[in-house]
Structure 1
Amino acid sequence: MTRMTRARRALGVHGARGALGVLGGVAALLVLSGCGIRATTVPVDVGAAPSRVSCDTPAQAAGESGVQGFRATLELVCGSQLVGVDRVVPVPEKRVVRDPVVLVAQALLEALEKAPSGEERDAGFTTGVPNGLTAGPARPGDPAGTVRLSRKPEDLPPVALAQLVCTLSASDAVSAGSGPVVLGGPDADPPRAWECTDAVRSRPESVPTLGELVRPSASPSGSGSGSGS
């Protein structure tokens, strides 16, 4: 075998090995590209990790912005549950109401209807109470402390009803700060009672929209059997 022939054979072996190395590198690149992976030395910014709402906001200072009113705890929605927020609630000026129960209930309704402040929204607070809801006096024959709403309570969204019940039940003027809230609609339907329980606060969307029927207490004359079922 001549020296030239040996050189050619050696060149052929090394060429084959080089070709196999190139093919292996191409195959590796194809696998990486198929998996959506790109080799890079530049760090990739995927954004901040998801954050949870804090449901925490400082209490409103008394006399803030010159507001004259009374202190109350409004039940707002945060993290799919009710969370109390301390506020200074202004007394309504457009309505002349002699009944203090109705006056306080109207002020609380108007406060619940307002959109939360920017600070409260940043903390995750919202409200589901619809605008235009008003409070009215009890009808003859209603139990003491009844608040008549401009809409039937059972027609309100469950979350809004839960906010109303828990906010009004914490008011000494409306329910002595502990008892159930007695609400009625604009018609002559009998009023019903709702309680603010731990279940209502933790799952306001599942509050029973139809409260417990409340009958007026018998009058001293014994004529307590009124009409109406």
Structure 2
Amino acid sequence: MTSFLRNGPRSTRARTIRTAALLAALVTVATCGCGIRTTTVPVDAGPAPTRVSCAVPQATVPPETPGTTVVKVYLVCSALAAQVTRNVTTTDTGTRPAPVSRLIAADMLLGQLQRRPSAVEAEAGFATEVPGNLNLTGPLPGDPKDALRLSLSLDELPSFALAQLVCTFTAAPGVGLADRSVLLGGPPGEGGPVKRYLCTSALRTRPDAADTAGTVVK
């Protein structure tokens, strides 16, 4: 009995040590099984990702307001091309405006796409990829009469810039055709085929879709 009492606390401490070692081993195995590598070095993962709304208030113009109109343009936000509306000053004096040619209307929209996003648009996450040096001309001899020629070849445009142009033009009355398409070609000096483009979901969401988006107009 004396021997049992003498050895009791020692045996208890031994069991406690063995139990702690076993638990430590189990924690190590579980950590390895989860694919997590333990480290004592602090890891800087950078700032937490921020979310953008990709939404801005719709532009509106009170009825019978001369000199201002609303246009729809496509900007880039969160890896896709999305539509925003803007108030644009015009030369309208209140009388019925004269018809505007396709080239003039498209050139006005191009200027909107090249413009720096407003503070509200930028805060919502919008940007533009349309180059500031891009220009438009009308059709070359032999082109369809509704064609528009760009000063940069189509394959030189930055990612999503073609989607911005196509979707903005096809949504604009007087620029987009009846089938909601637009005819675009490269620089007049280089010629090249005119292609018909549609504002598809793939074009709005995939940067590489521009490579195969258009169909040659014969």
Cα displacement (A) at 1:135:
1.3
User: Does 2:204 correspond to 1:190?
Assistant: no
Can you list the C-alpha shifts for 1:87-123, whole angstroms capped at 9, x where unaligned? 134459xxxxx96100011001000001101111111
Residues 91, 103 of structure 1: 8 Å contact kept? no
Aligned to 1:21: none
Give the distance between the partners of 1:91 and 1:156, measured in 2 at CA: 29
Match of 1:214 among 186, 211, 217: 217
Can you list the C-alpha shifts for 1:10-34, whole angstroms capped at 9, x where unaligned? xxxxxxxxxxxxxxxxxxxxxxxx9
Based on CA coordinates, which of the two structures has the bigger radius of gyration? 1
* Structure 2 length-normalised TM: 0.66
Please list every run of at least 4 consecutive aligned residues from structure 1 whose deviation after the TM superposition is greater than 3 angstroms.
Answer: 34-37, 48-51, 66-70, 89-92
Give aligned-pair identity as a percent: 36
Classify 1:49/1:174 alpha carbon distance in 2 versus 1 (closer, same or farther; 3 Å): same
Classify 1:200/1:134 alpha carbon distance in 2 versus 1 (closer, same or farther; 3 Å): same
Cα displacement (A) at 1:148:
1.1
Aligned to 1:116: 117
Residues 168, 174 of structure 1: 8 Å contact kept? yes
Aligned to 1:169: 170
* Structure 1 length-normalised TM: 0.63
Give the distance between the partners of 1:67 and 1:60, measured in 2 at CA: 15
Give the distance between the partners of 2:133 and 2:41, measured in 1 at CA: 55
Give the distance between the partners of 2:138 and 2:161, measured in 1 at CA: 20
Q: Which amino acid aligns with 2:210?
A: P
Cα displacement (A) at 1:149:
1.3
Give the distance between the partners of 1:116 and 1:70, measured in 2 at CA: 18
Aligned to 1:74: 73
Give the distance between the partners of 2:59 and 2:208, measured in 1 at CA: 30
Cα displacement (A) at 1:49:
6.0
Extract unaligned runs of 5+ from structure 2: 1-38, 92-98
Match of 1:51, SS state, is coil
Match of 1:186, SS state, is coil
Can you list the C-alpha shifts for 1:152-184, whole angstroms capped at 9, x where unaligned? 222211311111011111112112364221111
Aligned to 1:55: 54
Residues 170, 177 of structure 1: 8 Å contact kept? no
Aligned to 2:86: 87
Can you list the C-alpha shifts for 1:125-162, whole angstroms capped at 9, x where unaligned? 01100002111111122113101111122221131111
Extract unaligned runs of 5+ from structure 1: 1-33, 38-47, 93-97, 216-229
Count of residue pairs the alignment pairs up: 165
Give the distance between the partners of 1:171 and 1:51, measured in 2 at CA: 33
Classify 1:91/1:109 alpha carbon distance in 2 versus 1 (closer, same or farther; 3 Å): farther
Match of 1:87, SS state, is strand
